[in-house]
């Protein structure tokens, strides 16, 4: 996976969170961009080079994850989950959009069910891990 970060937070922490979110996925030939957003979050995954976004020649699929500032959180999302902060949001949204890339890579039907379930699972694991670290 190729990772491009322009989000205004600690790049090492972002990389760690992205790796956690994508831990069980085959991310070869996938490029992920992490950016700022005016909204709480937005994302797009599973698309190929559209000629507008610069993509590495080694990448075939791309996902873009945009995260808002701290004042946007906490926020409720699907499956009755709460994103407590930008880190929860990054894990949840990265997992979701990366799963769309896997759907495109495997030429599977593009839908929301698989990515939403995968993102919910990764967020739950992350929050469980974070709760232990906070104690």
For 80-127, write each residue's pLDDT tens digit: 899 999 999 999 999 999 999 999 888 888 888 899 999 999 999 999
Domain ranges of the chain: 2-129
Place of tokens 């995968």: 118
CATH 3.30.70 given to domain 2-129: no
Q: Express each pLDDT in 36-85 by its tens digit.
A: 999 999 998 877 765 556 667 777 888 999 999 999 999 999 878 999 99
> How far apart, in whole angstroms, are the C-alpha atoms of residue 99 and residue 119?
8
d(CA 86, CA 71): 10
């Amino acid at each position: 996976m190729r990772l491009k970060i322009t989000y205004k937070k600690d790049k090492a922490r972002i990389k760690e969170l992205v790796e956690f979110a994508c831990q069980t996925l085959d991310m070869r030939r996938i490029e992920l961009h992490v950016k700022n957003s005016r909204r709480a979050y937005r994302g797009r995954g599973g698309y190929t080079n559209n000629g507008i976004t610069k993509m590495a020649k080694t990448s075939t699929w791309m996902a873009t994850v945009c995260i808002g500032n701290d004042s946007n959180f906490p926020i409720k999302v699907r499956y009755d989950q709460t994103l407590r902060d930008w880190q929860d949001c990054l894990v949840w949204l990265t997992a979701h959009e990366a799963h769309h890339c896997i759907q495109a890579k495997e030429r599977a039907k593009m839908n929301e069910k698989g990515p939403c379930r995968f993102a919910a699972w990764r967020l739950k694991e992350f929050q469980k891990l974070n709760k232990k670290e906070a104690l």
